[in-house]
Amino acid sequence: MYDNIILLAHGAGGKKSAELLRAVFLRHLGNPALALLGDAAILTGIEGRLAFTTDAFVVAPLFFPGGDIGKLSICGTVNDLTAAGARPVALSAAFIIEEGLDIGTLEEVVISMRAAADEVGVSVVAGDTKVVPRGAADRLFITTAGLGIIPPDSTPPAPERAAPGDAVIVSGALADHGMAVMIQREGLRFSGTIHSDCAPLYHMIAAVRAVVPEIHAMRDPTRGGLAAVLHELAEQAGVAIEVEEQAIPVHADVRTACELLGIDPLHVANEGKMVLIVPTAHADAALDALHHHPLGREAARIGQVHKAPAGRVHLRTPFGALRILDLPSGDLLPRIC
């Protein structure tokens, strides 16, 4: 392809659109369903209960330590399906591209998407491309949808299933993603390099489900971080949740960056972590399965579900004091996903 940057003609449906489709999207995301270039992908062999999700990705900058908008779009969609107890089977992706974007940049993003999708064993089976004039977008936005299958013999996790006595587990250290993006965007300098935790979590959670007969609830703590997820679970289940501050894993360099910037790491987004609520009897088995997976080595049991006060989340400090864990006020870290 002789063009180095995206032109408005690449979104016009003509010759240049076809060139871009072949040179970038089909070249790197190609599979039998996508290759048909139909108005809709035809999927076969799907039976049982389906999970369906959609998401949009506007992260800035497009590339950050540990990931990029392409990897993020696949991982975010896969993790939403995983949190619903589903096995991801197919994704779609729509690209809104600003005129002038370097085609090499777009290709790098698409290659990253393919690598993340292959890690899970899922395909991008449908897509769309739109080109907008300079200044009408910020280089590149991606919108996805995902389809997953819920195993017929399983009960899907759901917030309302969280029950008093359940254990609260987080699959690893928190706040890496949000801080990595913010530091890269603002050009801040710290002693260490903070990397995003962006990762697809399906295989890690499948390992837990293989040994734990029942996961009551699961959520990936993205925008709003752990605090937002715990509040959502407590409110929807009509329970209280208490977590131990010292038990919550946060990397030292991330904690330092948060302290310097006046940000609570429990309010910062993650893109490669899962919060699980499981019966206490199965907590040790869940932790053991997580610890044996590369993405779950830092998993920790951080708290417990209580009966009352309903909808309340408490944080127990290292000094034994109990305080309310508030929701974040406003958008502390815009455009981190």
Residues 6+ apart with CB under 8 A from 32: none
CATH dotted code for 8-150: 3.30.1330.10
Please give the average per-residue pLDDT across 88-95, as a whole number.
98
Q: Check whether 1 has a pLDDT greater than 60.
A: no
Q: What pLDDT, on a 0 to 100 scale, did the predictor assign at position 177?
A: 97
User: DSSP label at 93?
Assistant: E
Neighbours of 306 (CB within 10 A): 17
Q: What pLDDT, on a 0 to 100 scale, did the predictor assign at position 327?
A: 85
Q: What pLDDT, on a 0 to 100 scale, did the predictor assign at position 2?
A: 56
Q: Check whether 230 has a pLDDT greater than 90.
A: yes
Superfamily of chain region 159-324: PurM-like C-terminal domain (3.90.650.10)
SS3 content of the chain, % helix, strand, coil (to 5): 35, 25, 40
Judge contact between 29 and 127, C-beta under 8 A.
yes
Q: Check whether 45 has a pLDDT greater than 70.
A: yes
Q: What pLDDT, on a 0 to 100 scale, did the predictor assign at position 332?
A: 72
Please give the Cα distance from 120 to 177 (Å, whole number): 20
For the stretch 51-68, pLDDT in tens is: 999 999 999 999 999 999
Q: Phi then psi for 51, rounded to 5 degrees?
A: -115, 140
Predicted model pTM: 0.95
In the chain, list all ranges with CATH 3.30.1330.10.
Answer: 8-150
In the chain, list all ranges with CATH 3.90.650.10.
Answer: 159-324
For the stretch 127-171, pLDDT in tens is: 999 999 999 999 999 999 999 999 988 899 999 999 999 999 999
Q: Check whether 21 has a pLDDT greater than 70.
A: yes
